[in-house]
Homo-oligomer: A and B are copies of this chain.
Amino acid sequence: MAQAGDYRILHEADLRDYLAGVPDLNALLGGDPAVWPITEVGDGNLNLVFIVKGAKGGVAVKQALPYVRLVGESWPLPLSRAHYEFLALSRQAELAPGLVPALLHHNEALALTVMELLEPHIIMRKGMVAATQYPGFVDDITTFMARTPFFTSDLARSAAEKKQGIAAFAGNHALCKITEDLIFTDPYRVAEQNRWTAPYLDALAAELRDNMELHVAVSRLKLKFMASPEALLHGDLHTGSIMVTERQMRVIDPEFAFYGPMGFDIGAVLANLLMAYFASAGHERAPGDRQAFEGWVLETVEKVWAEFARKFLDLWRAGATGDAYPASLFAGETGAARLEAERQAYMQRLFADAVGFAAAKTIRRIFGLAHNIDFELIEDSKKRAICEARAVRLARAMMLETAAFRTVADVTGTARKLRDWMPELSD
C-alpha cells in the first residue's frame, strides 16, 4: 500500500528525474532524458496521466491523486486505488494476454504505474463520435469479457481461492462507493452534482426522482453490486476505458476493480455502445450520413453478447475446475444434458443482470455527475436532449421490464425503433 509519507505528486521535472533513475525505463526510453517530451494527457476523472517519449521508445505513466481530479481536493480519494489497479492489471494480463497494456513498473508509495505506450490507439469513445468502425473489437472485447470473469469465478476456482481474491480487493471500497453513489443513487434523488440537458430533460429528471418503481429496481441492482462477488470485474468497462486501432484493442484503467456481479461489466459495454448509437444522430452532418456506422454499432451490440456468451460457455464446458457445479454430480449423458441446460439458464440470468446494469449505466451518464462525450459533443442542446431522451427511454424499459428483454435482439430491436422517435421535451 502507498505510505502517505512517501507520496508526492510528480510534476514534469520530478517525473523526468524519476524515470531516468529507473534503469529499465531509462534504457527503454533511450537518449538524453533532458529532452524527453513529457505531456500530461489525462482526460479521465481521477488521475494524472503522462506520455513520455525517448529516443528509442515511449511509455505511459499514471499517477493517482489523493482526490478526485474531476472535482478537486474537496473530494479525497485513497491512493491505494493504484495498488488495486496494478493488481487487477496483473491478473488481467495473465487471464487475457495481450488485451491490457503491458506493465513496466509500479511504485506503491507514489501510487504510480508505468505501462507500454499504446500507439496509435485512441480512446474508443472518441473514435465512435467520429463514426469509426472497429472490426477487431468484438473478438477482442469478448475474449476479455469472457476470460477475466470466468477464470476468477466459482466455475473455475476453488472456494478458497475465490475467497482470497475477494479479500485481496475488499480494500478498494472507496472506488466501489463512487459507483454506488453516482450510478445507483444520485440520479434518483436531489444531488448537487447531478446535471442534465436542461430545460429539455427536466421532466425526465423529475420522473427519475419520483418513480418509486425505478427506485426499487435501482436499489436491487445496487444491492447486487454490493453483495454478489461472482468474479473479478474491471468495474468501469465503458468505451472510455478501451483503446483501439481498427485491428487492436486494449482495456485500460481497472482502478474500480473488485469482486462483483459479472453482469455489471457486461452491462457497461452494452450500455456504452447503445449510447454511442443514440448519440450518433446528433453528430450527423447530413441525414443518414452515419447510417453504416449505426448499423455496425447495433450489430456490435448483438455480437458482443453472442460472442461473450459463446466464449464463456466454451470455457465452462472445457475448464470447469471450480467448486461450483462439480463434474461428479453431472456424470453420464443425462448429467451432461442437464448441466448444459443449467448453463443456458445461468447465461439467461446473466443476460438479465446485464440488461439491468446497462440501464443504470445509461441513466447515470445523462443525469448524474459524469457525462459522456458521445452526448456532450453534440453542441445543439435540444438535439442532444432528443438523443439522450431516446437512450433514457430504452434504459427505463430495460430497468423496469428487464424480463421482457429475453435476447439481445430485443434490446437492439427496441433501440432501432427509437432511433427516430421524437420525445416530448420540457421547455
Q: Which residues of A contact B (CB under 8 A)?
A: 154, 159-160, 162-164, 166-167, 170-171, 173-174, 176-177, 180, 185, 188-189, 212-213, 215-216, 218-219, 222-223, 226-230, 323-326, 328-330, 334-335, 338-339, 342
Contact = CB atoms under 8 A, between A and B. Distances in A.
B226 A227 contact: no
A324 B228 CA distance: 13
Contacts of A229: 166, 227, 229
B176 A329 contact: no
Contacts of A188: 329
Given A185-B328, A215-B335, A219-B326, 18 more contacts: A159-B173, A159-B180, A162-B226, A162-B227, A163-B170, A163-B173, A164-B170, A164-B173, A166-B167, A167-B170, A177-B323, A185-B326, A212-B338, A213-B338, A215-B330, A219-B324, A219-B329, A222-B323
A177 B154 contact: no
A180 B163 CA distance: 14
Contacts of A326: 185, 189, 219
Contacts of A223: 154, 324-325
A216 B166 contact: no
Output the residue of A163, A177, A226, A339 with the most chain B CB within 10 A.
A163
B185 A160 contact: no
Contacts of A342: 216, 219
A212 B170 CA distance: 36
The 8 A-B pairs with the shortest beta carbon distances in the complex, nearest first, are A212-B338, A167-B170, A160-B173, A163-B170, A167-B167, A215-B329, A223-B324, A189-B328
Nearest to A165: B170
Contacts of A323: 177, 180, 222, 226
A173 B335 CA distance: 28
B154 A227 contact: yes
A171 B168 CA distance: 11
A325 B330 CA distance: 39
Nearest to A155: B223
Given A219-B326, A328-B185, A330-B215, A170 B166 contact: yes
B334 A212 contact: yes
Contacts of A212: 330, 334-335, 338
A228 B259 CA distance: 11
Contacts of A334: 212
B189 A160 contact: no
29 contacts: A154-B223, A154-B226, A154-B227, A159-B177, A159-B226, A162-B226, A163-B170, A163-B173, A164-B170, A166-B167, A166-B170, A166-B229, A167-B171, A170-B170, A177-B323, A185-B326, A189-B326, A212-B338, A213-B338, A215-B335, A215-B338, A216-B339, A219-B326, A219-B329, A219-B342, A222-B323, A227-B230, A227-B324, A229-B229
Nearest to A188: B329
Nearest to A338: B212
A174 B335 CA distance: 28
Contacts of A325: 219, 223
A338 B174 CA distance: 29
A228 B229 CA distance: 7
Contacts of A164: 170, 173
